[in-house]
Structure 1
């Protein structure tokens, strides 16, 4: 048992602790050993619910008889990385890998110098040559031969890739900056809608064999009021996509929740892993769908709470695609059974790693859905997760770590996305519960990232900086504002800053938090308007900033009073139901939206603020206009 992996806070690394490979976890120790031996480093990146990661592990890493492990140990320092625990490492090496292969994905196999500069990369390598892909042992032999016989060529390649990545990063700040107006946002929505698969829904070519993903960030942008009102034909693309996915094999009809992606354009033959990121965001998509899909909302909420929520309260990262059936590993076999057929089976394993930002996405989605559907249990599940993350995923000095496992914190620092996504979830939870403490913590997280930025014109960064090994090596990904399967760091922090502004963390219609959100959006707007499918989360923030908000505050001793229920059914930007004591606490904490709001004649009272002005308070539910 490899002691370097056995006690890791990643189930993925623990699963490789018994390999006959002398794996190192990500860290300076591995590169120091490579420098000592003067050998290249092989960085193998994957995650615990990745099917082809499992396949390559069984074929090349687990069986000592294949001699692959001996080749690895003789000529390389082998590093195993959980991409979910180290997203910055994954993003940097994924960007480098694009120089060698257009077919990016996981497992990701990257060969780097002892100084950390990538010089060759690929994805899955089989044990024997297959369909034009060399065998893994052939790759190892070729890299070893090049390292010993053509070292100069390797150094040139590594230098060229490092320079290209550096130039791509520096180019972000050279663009003109302003926030998009409504017309530009609607144009971006129409450009995005033009990529619709007209036959099956979603995005993509109906005749293409490539995998098909939900791309929830893009769907959520299409659902914004700016798009619904000004480009309804584009907004309808999101609704058709949800309907197509919800009524296809991509959605589990028994336990709820969506699978990662489909291998065919008609959403059939899914890749049977269920991710926290996808389902948290698709919960919001279903919540805002037209027509409503309460069955989808309830199914996703049940999956998050019943399957992914861990004993400590946090939500696990994902559920595996594989399980044991009749003594053999089965890809998707469990999900092919009906409820009765599953009853006697052990379900696929859940990766119990509690990722900070991903929990923020789930906390926010459940808080919003619980409020809209009148499900206090969903809000309590969100509160439980928030309390767990704030306890286990925070260092003694208040900084976030990336993840925890069994309430033991990872050594990997939190990313900007972690800070922004958690802050956004906490802000939504504060509104759903009326408890200002969550909003205060959200404000602290946002403030910390902006305070840590190099200057006012730069993207915010995490306190203490990012991954220390990458920083020392000078390796990083290009534009960190583009979305993958989740909102990027800049987009998440912009969204959290905008949410704080809506709660009155600023004084008046404009202020520091709105300015922060606008600056982030403006900085990346040219790229977002040019490639809307890759910047849905940022464009959603831009759309929110392009219209005047509507904020409703109900002050009532009985939070289930009729006027409170009526308010919760209104699709405003903020609907907060608070007791008089809670309203006072919000004001004391510096959230001006709640100032001068209390009971009128001792009755529950609603305050409806639109276009930066509040109407006269009302006590009759009939006076609240939808």
Structure 2
């Protein structure tokens, strides 16, 4: 009997498994209630739609009728899309760290009916390979433990759950997400700059980048280097320039401009061919003009939906001459690719990841004077606001053409979308994006987010965990809060931002890879403030002044470009930095802590003021 329940799922990853003989369930209280009623363990298999080794394990094991029967008889089997449910993934990954250092996807975990992990690993082959047991062997060993050593199983599971609870409590003690309370200490500017020295020691002098194989683009780390470089650090500037150059020239960047998830070799060769929205969006914010234009073209031509939103990823696998193969389509010359179907898309629209793309396009569009990038950002913002935001609150994390997921929005969605909308508002002068961002920041700072009921009951909700490839939603929320403070004069915003990033930034001084984005915001919060306000009714003049101001962006600065009419609207909406800025046209104001020099009336005057400020 097959009772697979994934056929109606919204997630493309879950739907890929709808035809498995395994009786898959979606994550939720019902699956764990069934396990309690049957007194069986829960297999939780976590992956995502473009994950190559997830595909491999599905073909080797989850399509096997004998394994499916074993799972049906002795387990409740639950499939989770880590993109749809990052909360479940983060909690399970934290528990899995007790069993293996080689964390990744597919993530294979075994839980008690109380949702406590008692064993976990990643990919398991169909037959033993070296020290890696076969999946059947793992299932047999888990069942033996469940039947014969139940007391030990529960003791281990309880200990892991307790460790997760303690770790989560320690990470949040002394901080708090509200606007009240004392401002916590941030690592000093000198300490943050010292991190660059440590990164320089880890640079691969032969091939560029950091460390050995595999090599990741690590956009948050590179953006941290960009922040320190903009603050006058030549060493950071050199590390950034060399890293971006090798990424652009290596096999990690495809001929169409898109960037693959990582390279399997130290010399940046042999990519892992899946292409994620978050990698490309993160690089957009810091890439030089040609590289940024290539990435924007990839987003426009491959990941963009008809409504303007961006889907999550493109697969590594495609069908060539009837064979399902990894990477072969990408290895074809561009001119030959149209002969074959391209790798499929993970067609989820994720709120947070789109926020990251909006931010990257807005920053790059302003810096490089590229209006098409701004148009792409506007269209994505409008699509996400229409479908995923209601009455100023994020109500949908993930949607596809089949509908909206029931997965609750996370801090990633609120923070990244707020930051992206605010950056777009600053560049375009469109007030509606700023007011939407302000509402989202209020939500995020207040901590008004739903916790998954299974994780809440088990006490294993971890909150947002450090990430090496994706900008943190918590950090993005902090940055958006600080920017809003500069725009409104609200003196509560900076302490709120500091509370959000303080713990992460302190950890980042010794472990920068997962916390580089927090270090960048901590640096920004400790710099003298600088506000650049550009006002012009002539589009050509506004464009030129805005590009000059954007190029001068550095930590601790806010840059806003508006028409006189927009300046009046912003002022009326409570953004006091724009008060009275409609009096002169054109005018560019270079201000420090809201105290402004005489307005520059031409690009030449603005250039001179920026050089001396």
Q: Which of the five TM-score ranges fits, normalised by the shorter chain?
A: over 0.9
- 2:211 is paired with a residue whose SS is coil
SS at structure 2 position matched to 1:606: strand
Q: Distance in 2 between matches of 1:520 and 1:24?
A: 36
1:192 pairs with one of 181, 191, 199: 199
1:237 equivalent in structure 2: 239
Map residues 290-369 of structure 1 onto 2, 5 A cutoff: 293-369=288-364
Decide which moves more: 327-336 or 395-404.
395-404
Change in CA separation of 1:129 and 1:3 when aligned onto 2, cut-off 3 Å = closer
Establish whether residue 554 from structure 1 lines up as the match of residue 572 from structure 2: no
Gap regions ≥5 residues in structure 2: 176-183
Tell me the SS of whatever aligns to 1:486. coil
1:400-411 equivalence runs, <5 A:
400-406=395-401, 408-411=403-406
Q: 2:489 aligns with which of 488, 506, 511?
A: 506
What residue is the counterpart of 1:283 in the other structure?
284
Q: Which residue does the alignment assign to 2:59? A: 58
Cα 1:486/1:63, change in 2 over 3 Å: same
Q: Is residue 559–residue 578 contact of structure 1 (8 Å, CA) maintained in 2?
A: no
- How much does 1:3 deviate? 6.7
1:119 maps to: 118
Residue by residue over 1:448-500, the C-alpha shift from the partner in whole angstroms, topping out at 9 and shown as x without a partner, is 1222xxxxxxxxx3x242222211211133x8452332122321211111222
CA drift of 1:166 comes to 1.5
d(CA) in 2 for partners of 1:396 and 1:68? Answer: 47
Distance in 2 between the 1:195 and 1:401 partners? Answer: 40
Question: 1:520/1:442 Cα in 2 relative to 1: closer, same or farther (>3 Å)?
Answer: same
Aligned to 2:218: 215
What corresponds to 2:264 in structure 1? 263
Go from structure 1 to structure 2 and tell me whether the alpha carbon gap of 1:2 and 1:427 turns closer, same or farther (over 3 Å shift): farther
DSSP 3-state at the match of 2:540: coil
Give the C-alpha shift of residue 17 in structure 1: 0.6
Matched, 1:543 2:545: no
**1:618 and 2:605 equivalent?**
no
The whole-number CA distance in structure 1 between the counterparts of 2:509 and 2:492 is 25
TM-score (norm. length: structure 2)? 0.93
Hey, what's the Cα distance between the residues in 2 that align with 1:312 and 1:39?
45
TM-superposed deviation, 1:174: 5.4
Instruction: Go from structure 1 to structure 2 and tell me whether the alpha carbon gap of 1:346 and 1:2 turns closer, same or farther (over 3 Å shift).
Output: farther
2: CA distance, partners of 1:248 / 1:213 = 12
1:466 paired residue among 451, 460, 470: 451
Query: Contact 2:315–2:345 at 8 Å: present in 1 too?
Result: yes
Task: Measure the CA separation in 2 of the matches of 1:79 and 1:401.
Answer: 22
3-state DSSP of counterpart to 2:325: strand
2:572 matched to which residue of 1?
588
Aligned to 2:47: 46
Point out the more displaced range, 536-545 or 517-526: 517-526
Structure 2 vs 1, CA of residues 481 and 328 (structure 1 numbering), >3 Å: closer, same or farther? Answer: closer
Once residues 401 and 473 of structure 1 are traced to their aligned partners in structure 2, the CA distance between those partners, rounded to angstroms, is 24
Q: CA RMSD in A?
A: 1.8
Task: Confirm or deny that 1:608 pairs with 2:590.
Answer: yes
Cα distance in 2 for partners of 1:231, 1:620 equals 29
Alignment partners' CA distance in 1, 2:414 and 2:209 = 30
User: How far, CA to CA, are the matches of 1:589 and 1:612 in structure 2?
Assistant: 18
1:82-136 Cα distance to aligned partner (Å, 9 max, x none) = 0000001101111111111111100000000000000000100111111221111
- 1:497 maps to 481
**Could you tell me the TM-score, scaled by structure 1's length?**
0.91
Answer with 574-583 or 431-440: which moved more.
574-583
Q: Deviations over 1:357-376 (max 9, x none)?
A: 11000001111222222322
Higher alpha-carbon deviation: 566-575 or 104-113:
566-575
